[in-house]
Amino acid sequence: MVDSPTSSKSNSLIHRPTTTTRGGWHAAIFIISIYVASIGDGGHKPCVQTFAADQFDEDTMKERENKSSFFNWWYMGVVAGSVIPVFLIPYLQQNGWWAMGFGLVGGVLALALAVFVLGINSYRKEGPAGSPFTRLAQVFVAASRKWRVNHTLNYCYEEMDNQEPPHIHAHKFTTLLHTHEYRFLDKAMMIDEVDATSKTRDPWRLCSVTQVEELKLILRIIPIWLSCIMFTVVQAQGHTYFVKQADTLNRSIGPNFLVPAAVIQGLVGIIILIVVPIYDKVFMPLARKFTGHPTGITVLQRIGVGHFLSILTMVVAALVEAKRVGVARDHNLLDNPKAMVPMTIWWLLPQYIITGVSDAFTIVGLQELLYDQMPEGMRSMGAALYISIIGVGNFASIAIIDTVEEITLRVGGPWLGNNINRAHLDYFYWLLAVLSALSLCVYLWLAKLYEYKKVDVVETSNQMRLGEYNHNYGV
């Protein structure tokens, strides 16, 4: 029986809502899964690194050296977990095996969770000690309430809380020593007439030395963090304009295999996987013999080396781009941006190598700095700062690109555009090199002024309550 036009129309009307509804449910589940993954990432990433580093005891030199190595191997593991999917998952999805690709990632996460749960009884765990943000706010309020107090007073306040803070281990606790930066905050720990006559301490009027120094640690970290944003702007080019360059080059390997342009990003991860073990097993022990420092060089020096290498990345990228445009001009391809420029993709290898090496220096250095120099109750926030600087760098990169496009459209020819052969991407790279050099100068100035955390370890006995310790310090 042949369907009539009416019945065909009726059947299509019946079938179409089912497909739409099904597609709507699929889209909703997909979007919800992305948000769930984002929430999980936001809770997991800042905490897991801090929790893992807390498993080391800083009481011995060996443990401190092991902790420094941990940050190297930790980042190496993170990079390995990022590189493998870049090469494997796109291949599966390219062949239509989307379910297998997502299922494989889900299976690895389930295995990781199982391994974590197996060791749950052997981990060193710290108990909650109240909100660290409240402690910081108390310093600001106390200092502002005492802005007229004379700095020359000789008494300041130090007390351990009756509840055990996270920096108490066995029969000892740590306090932060007084430093002379941000002296306006020192008024928060000054004992004035009101404090001296009060029977109880008002935490919003009188703060301990350690509290004040915790806030100073945050204030010292923020300028260093800001000065490293330009570094992440340079790193952002690795998955934007570097890939756009690669898309125009000869990507053939052998007669039948064409390298996808996006896959070349995986080179950065491979370089990091090579550099980190060399740094940890060769460079650190060798540098330690000359400097006597547990990590070979200081963490600020390590960040600075990576910052300098990022400038070199932009210089090399600018020279390679000038070469690419020259080849395109010689073969009359300037007005054909989709044509393959007769120049091998391996010309991009040097800039990717330098990017990977600089990443291994600066990113790992930032992780260690933001863990070690943060107040012990806020180390997870330090990890969050390290993660956030990558996102801020990407936003800053977009802002710089928009600004460059706006200015160059008004003055002369546009540096950036859809036709990469007619654009002046090399000029843009030179601009980033100059901005990075200025950023490095600011960083070096801040690093020279930076004062590392100073800790005093106080021994206690089994019978002595930690809350009984009061110390007077000269200011």
Write out the H or E segment, with its range, that includes residue 351. Answer: helix 349-372
Sort residue 412 into left (φ over 0), alpha (ψ -120 to 50) or beta: left
What's the distance, CA 21 to chain centroid?
41
| The predicted structure's pLDDT at residue 14 | 38
Is 364 among the domain residues?
yes
Give per-residue pLDDT as tens, 420-456.
Answer: 888 889 999 999 999 999 999 999 999 999 988 877 7
- Provide, rounded to the nearest whole percent, the portion of the chain with pLDDT above 70: 77
Dist CA 467 CA 128 (whole Å): 17
φ, ψ dihedrals at 159, nearest 5°: -150, 140
**Is there a single domain that holds both residue 226 and residue 363?**
yes
| The predicted structure's pLDDT at residue 163 | 39
User: Is the predicted pLDDT of residue 12 greater than 50, yes or no?
Assistant: no
**Is there a single domain that holds both residue 202 and residue 236?**
no
Dist CA 153 CA 49 (whole Å): 42
**Is there a single domain that holds both residue 258 and residue 333?**
yes
Q: Which residue has the higher pLDDT, 154 or 360?
A: 360
Kindly state the tokens that stand for 472.
Answer: 């007077």
| The predicted structure's pLDDT at residue 350 | 92
Spatial neighbors of 454 by CB under 8 A, at least 6 apart, are 176, 177, 179
**Is there a single domain that holds both residue 201 and residue 335?**
no
Closest Cα to residue 234, out of 327, 306, 175, 284? 306
| The predicted structure's pLDDT at residue 68 | 66
Write out the H or E segment, with its range, that includes residue 168. Answer: strand 168-169
Spatial neighbors of 50 by CB under 8 A, at least 6 apart, are 371, 379, 380, 382, 383
User: Is the predicted pLDDT of residue 160 greater than 90, yes or no?
Assistant: no
| The predicted structure's pLDDT at residue 61 | 67
Task: Note down the domain range covering 225.
Answer: 54-94+220-449
**Is there a single domain that holds both residue 199 and residue 340?**
no
Is 15 among the domain residues?
no
Q: Which amino acid is at 376?
A: E
**Is there a single domain that holds both residue 231 and residue 203?**
no
> What is the number of domains present in the chain?
2
**Is there a single domain that holds both residue 269 and residue 387?**
yes
In the predicted model, what is the mean pLDDT of residues 17-28? Answer: 63
Is 117 among the domain residues?
no
Closest Cα to residue 355, out of 317, 310, 394? 310
Write out the H or E segment, with its range, that includes residue 436. Answer: helix 425-449
In the predicted model, what is the mean pLDDT of residues 322-330? Answer: 90
What DSSP letter does each residue of 7-54 carry, written as one string? HHHHHHHHHHHHHHHHHHHHHHHHHHHHHHHHHHHHHHHHHHHHHHHT
Label the pairing between strands 249-250 and 252-253: unpaired
| Cβ-contact 293, 377 below 8 angstroms | no
Q: Residue holding tokens 């100068």?
A: 441
**Is there a single domain that holds both residue 438 and residue 296?**
yes
φ, ψ dihedrals at 353, nearest 5°: -65, -45
In the predicted model, what is the mean pLDDT of residues 353-366? Answer: 90
Is 229 among the domain residues?
yes
Least confident of 19-33, 369-383, 402-416: 19-33
| The predicted structure's pLDDT at residue 6 | 40
Is 376 among the domain residues?
yes
In the predicted model, what is the mean pLDDT of residues 82-103? Answer: 72
Q: What average pLDDT is seen over the chain? A: 78
What's the distance, CA 209 to chain centroid?
30
Is 316 among the domain residues?
yes
User: Is the predicted pLDDT of residue 315 greater than 90, yes or no?
Assistant: yes
In the predicted model, what is the mean pLDDT of residues 340-360? Answer: 90
Is 2 among the domain residues?
no
**Is there a single domain that holds both residue 364 and residue 344?**
yes
| The predicted structure's pLDDT at residue 5 | 42
Is 77 among the domain residues?
yes
**Is there a single domain that holds both residue 210 and residue 225?**
no
**Is there a single domain that holds both residue 153 and residue 240?**
no
**Is there a single domain that holds both residue 245 and residue 202?**
no
| Cβ-contact 239, 265 below 8 angstroms | yes
Q: What does pTM read for this prediction? A: 0.74
Give per-residue pLDDT as tens, 191-237.
Answer: 887 877 888 888 888 888 888 888 999 999 999 999 999 999 999 88
- Rg of the chain's alpha carbons, rounded to an integer? 28
Q: Residue holding tokens 């943060």?
A: 374
Say which CATH number the domain at 232 has: 1.20.1250.20
